[in-house]
Amino acid sequence: MAIPLRVDFLVMGAGVAGLRAAVELARHGEVLVVTKESLGESNTHYAQGGIAVATEGASDVRLHLEDTVNAGDGLVYRPAAEVLVREGPERVAELMEWGAAFDREGGRLLRTREGAHSLARILHANGDATGAEISRSLVAFARGQKRIQFAEWTMVAGLVVVDGRVAGADLAGAGPLATDPGPHRVGARSVLIASGGAGQVYSDTTNPAVATGDGIALALDAGAALADMEFYQFHPTALALAGAPRFLISEALRGEGAYLRNDRGERFMERYHPLLELAPRDVVARAIAREGMGARSGEGKAGETGTSEARPVLLDLRHVRNIDLHRRFPGISAFLGEYGLDLERDPIPIGPAAHYLMGGIRTDLDGRTTLPGLYAAGEAACTGVHGANRLASNSLLEGLVFGARAALAMLNDGLPLLPGAGPAAALRPMAKEDDSLADIFIHHLQKAMWVNAGLLRHESTLREGLVAQAECEANLERFVEQGKTSRSLLEGRALSRVAQAILHSALARAESRGAHFRNDYPQRDDRNFLRHSVVGSGVGDESITFEGW
């Protein structure tokens, strides 16, 4: 299938936000969905725990709102949270009508509880494969819409800006299975970025390989503002086993009663928060990091990041007797079984890993960015709905709610097609040795970000991170100057831009709040920082401002 030269709407990303938007847009025009790998390969697919939704009436909605606001550590934009919890039940009901099958017992939807939730409101599917089920149902429904075309294994290499407005995008193949290798310039009335987060900016992450922040970097380069980039959520419980990937061990296990224990077998969360294992994610992640680096004896140094555990920290379910853990968590059980571990028999070694970006492309409540013609939704966007720390299982709901709202805004704005500014530039593929070298530069950046801009930060470590970021960018730019390109190069440049925004935003926020903790500024400072950081063009210390929403 050839990629069209013009469409009404171009959607970058095939996760929950992108597909929900595409379905809405297809009712009124021709839609092209561009996805870097096969359809459905996204952060959405790998979400385990579930989707938070208040289905028990007005009081349930109010409680969900307050839980969301409280988890965000003072920085949640309340109108955004109100939209999320109010419109969430309708979006989830709609999803079930389209074929999503959540777990039931006797016809009744099963719900579980996760950290910082006041009650059990998390719907789940196939035990611990909620994202995969939501992705499956949305992909199937979207494929049934005749006005949606898909460009798989295809990357957006650049946004086309004409007279100060986004008017299309340049596409390039991202693998041998590309729909059409390109390069192509596709004109569109408007473009939606729903390309997910950027967990791959860190060496330790629960995110899949596709999560390289491409859309966020493209928006910044085109002139759109970013916001709250310092707030990266580190999931407290990723598998920490030599030779194994940082596989996500769902928060739902703690919702079902799992304990956290240090190397002495002690439950330690009582020293950090009254909600113990069900405290907000930022609190639990820092507690695990501190236990691992010697918090009891005061061995942690002032400038340490605390992201490399010297001591084991364990997730223990051996006392849980009221549920069949293998049936409740079949995916996690099967994965652990490959490494000789059993949820019912063995304490599981865990540690924090980069999981979710609360910041992203700054938008209003309808997905409009600061650049006309460009919209964003899902993890790539920042409405302020998560504040400084996302409430568990609000992410899939965010994609559904704000994906639909962004599509309606694109329709209501009714922008016309504009002529493009010439054809897309043809670039030379990089040789294998150049691609391998680019990968090395990227790996150095990822490790530097983990060490210098992880859970526990300090001005000195953040400055070291900027040195590593500048070196990576300079090395990658040499290939660009030679007219070369590859998927690795495009992803590496995106990661470098995202890293730069995170580092400068973290330096500018001289306080600790939510997922952002500064050892040199350990207290929350509402007087100076009860505002959102905004990244303008030309990222640097001087380009970060703090604004109300």
Q: Inform me whether the pLDDT recorded for 505 exceeds 60.
A: yes
pLDDT at 280: 87
Are residues 442 and 529 both part of a single domain?
Answer: yes
Q: Inform me whether the pLDDT recorded for 307 exceeds 50.
A: no
Are residues 257 and 343 both part of a single domain?
Answer: yes
| Least-confidence region, from 281-295, 361-375, 419-433 | 419-433
Residue after which a domain boundary falls, among 316, 335, 355: 355
Higher pLDDT pick, 15 / 483: 15
Tell me the C-alpha distance between 445 and 161, whole Å: 30
Give Cα 18 distance to the centre of its chain.
14
What CATH number is attached to the domain comprising 308? Answer: 3.90.700.10
Tell me the C-alpha distance between 275 and 513, whole Å: 18
> What is the pTM (predicted TM-score) of this model?
0.93
Residue after which a domain boundary falls, among 321, 355, 389: 355
Catalytic residues: 281
Percent of the chain scored above 90 by pLDDT? 77
Residue after which a domain boundary falls, among 325, 355, 385: 355
pLDDT at 450: 96
Q: Inform me whether the pLDDT recorded for 497 exceeds 60.
A: yes
**Total structural domains in the chain?**
2
Tell me the C-alpha distance between 197 and 222, whole Å: 18
Q: Inform me whether the pLDDT recorded for 306 exceeds 50.
A: no
Tell me the C-alpha distance between 90 and 198, whole Å: 29
- Evaluate whether residue 528 is within a structural domain: yes
Give which of 404, 364, 409, 401 is closest to 383, Cα–Cα.
364
CB 278 within 8 A of CB 114: yes
Q: What is the mean pLDDT of residues 268-296?
A: 86
**DSSP character string of 337-368:** HTTT--TTTSPEEEEEEEEEES-EEE--TTSB
pLDDT at 305: 46
Q: What is the mean pLDDT of residues 411-416?
A: 96
479 by Cβ neighbours in 10 Å (0-12 / 13-18 / 19+) ranks as buried
- Evaluate whether residue 375 is within a structural domain: no
- Evaluate whether residue 407 is within a structural domain: no
**pLDDT band at residue 539 under the 50/70/90 scheme:** low
Are residues 540 and 435 both part of a single domain?
Answer: yes
Q: Inform me whether the pLDDT recorded for 538 exceeds 80.
A: no
Rg of the chain (C-alpha set): 22
What residue numbers bound the domain in which 316 lies?
242-355
- Evaluate whether residue 12 is within a structural domain: no
Return all residues near 15 (Cβ < 8 A) that are at least 6 apart.
Answer: 42, 43, 44, 45, 135, 194, 196, 378, 379, 399
Strand ranges of the sheet holding 360-362, from the earlier edge strand across to the other edge:
381-382, 360-362, 226-227, 532-535, 544-547
> For 394-413, what is each residue's pLDDT tens digit?
999 999 999 999 999 999 99
Are residues 436 and 537 both part of a single domain?
Answer: yes
pLDDT at 47: 75
Are residues 446 and 337 both part of a single domain?
Answer: no
Joined tokens for residue 186? 């596709």
Question: Helices marked H in 2-129 — which ranges?
Answer: 16-25, 43-46, 58-71, 78-97
pLDDT at 309: 42
pLDDT at 174: 82
- Evaluate whether residue 31 is within a structural domain: no
Q: Inform me whether the pLDDT recorded for 114 exceeds 90.
A: no
- Evaluate whether residue 133 is within a structural domain: no
Q: Inform me whether the pLDDT recorded for 300 exceeds 50.
A: no
Find the helix packing angle between 432-452 and 487-508, rounded to 10°.
20
- Evaluate whether residue 501 is within a structural domain: yes
**pLDDT band at residue 296 under the 50/70/90 scheme:** very low
Are residues 434 and 332 both part of a single domain?
Answer: no
**pLDDT band at residue 38 under the 50/70/90 scheme:** confident
Tell me the C-alpha distance between 390 and 409, whole Å: 25
- Evaluate whether residue 370 is within a structural domain: no
